[in-house]
Amino acid sequence: MAKATSSLADTPSSPLGLAVIISGRGSNMLAIARASQAGQLNARVLQVIADRDSAAGIAAAQALGLATQVIPAKSFPDKASFETALAEAIDASGATLVVLAGFMRILSAEFTARYAGRLLNIHPSLLPAYKGLHTHERVLAAGEASHGVTVHYVTAELDGGPLLLQARIAVRPGDTADTLAARVQQREHIIYPRVIDWLATGRLQWRNGEPWLDGAALRQPVILEEHES
Ligand code: GRF
């Protein structure tokens, strides 16, 4: 059960344990795992879990020596029983923080409440704009001048939890959904490990349902501009 006020870094010297949940190729999972293995992040990926056999990220995780597990959602009779199995696997791993990284399922209110304050997601838009799917196509169709990606806490509201860190990029003439996706992904691999570092070092805390960064309530996300790293 989540504490009302919680630092995930109660023992700053021990690495923050992560369960990373994927559905696809897992490039964010790999960026986090590599930062951890390179000693740039005081966190350790304890378990990589995929909801489908076809997730290419599972083999990539194994190549890095990570523990992996596939919990095929389609083999469960309903969402509740899948989520029960997922929660059991997360808890059995000993992970403190649950990292959704290209996980293509909508989680129930029960699941998000169970992991309140220790469940993160990355979404390829500058939330609250462009929740949901096909964000690059929709940004282009709307003629937006800028686009980006957001790391946020997960709550019961889809893509609606408190925003933590965003990377903003310019939309360039001639951009396609693919070129935008590629530039967004480069930034994803910077900002996701960074937010995990904030948690691992105790800079980011969850207090009474709100994120606090460096001792102040974080009501607007921190924004990393394109020229910043
Ligand atoms: C990323 O674009 C992320 O923003 C979205 O799903 C994609 C996952 O990519 N939630 P990968 O599997 O981490 O490469």
Kindly give the number of the ligand 1 atom that is closest to the alpha carbon of 101: 13
Separation of CA 11 and ligand 1 centre (Å): 30
According to the model, what pLDDT value does residue 2 have?
A: 45
Pocket of ligand 1 (CB under 6 A): 22, 24-28, 101-102, 122-124, 149, 185, 188
Rounded mean pLDDT, 24-29: 98
| 166, β-bridge pairs | 150, 223
Confirm whether 123 is a catalytic residue.
Answer: yes
Q: Phi/psi zone of residue 134: left (φ > 0), alpha (ψ -120 to 50 degrees), beta?
A: left
Sheet containing strand 146-153, strands side by side: 68-70, 43-50, 16-22, 97-100, 119-123, 146-153, 163-170, 222-224
Rounded mean pLDDT, 186-197: 98
- Model confidence at 10, pLDDT cuts 50, 70, 90, reads low
According to the model, what pLDDT value does residue 133 have?
A: 97
Distance CA 27, CA 93 (A): 21
Query: What average pLDDT does the chain have?
Result: 96
By alpha-carbon position, which residue is closest to atom 1 of ligand 1? 102
Collect all residues with Cβ–Cβ distance below 8 Å to 87 and sequence separation of at least 6. Answer: 111, 114
According to the model, what pLDDT value does residue 1 have?
A: 42
Distance CA 37, CA 53 (A): 25
The pTM (predicted TM-score) of the whole model is: 0.96
Of 8-22, 106-120, 141-155, 213-227, least confident by mean pLDDT is 8-22
According to the model, what pLDDT value does residue 104 have?
A: 97
Separation of CA 93 and ligand 1 centre (Å): 23
SS3 of residue 153 by DSSP: strand
Q: Report percent pLDDT > 70 for the chain.
A: 96
Q: What domains are there in the chain, each with its CATH number?
A: 16-105 (3.40.50.170), 123-229 (3.40.50.170)
Distance CA 2, CA 114 (A): 7
Whether pLDDT at 5 is above 90: no
Kindly give the number of the ligand 1 atom that is closest to the alpha carbon of 57: 12
Residue that is written with structure tokens 């096909």 in the block? 134
Catalytic residue among 123, 136, 147, 189: 123
Whether pLDDT at 182 is above 50: yes
SS3 of residue 113 by DSSP: helix
Separation of CA 113 and ligand 1 centre (Å): 23
- At 35-90, the pLDDT tens digits run 999 999 999 999 999 999 999 999 999 999 999 999 999 999 999 999 999 999 99
- At 147-177, the pLDDT tens digits run 999 999 999 999 999 999 999 999 999 999 9
Collect all residues with Cβ–Cβ distance below 8 Å to 43 and sequence separation of at least 6. Answer: 15, 16, 17, 18, 32, 36, 97, 196, 197, 199, 200
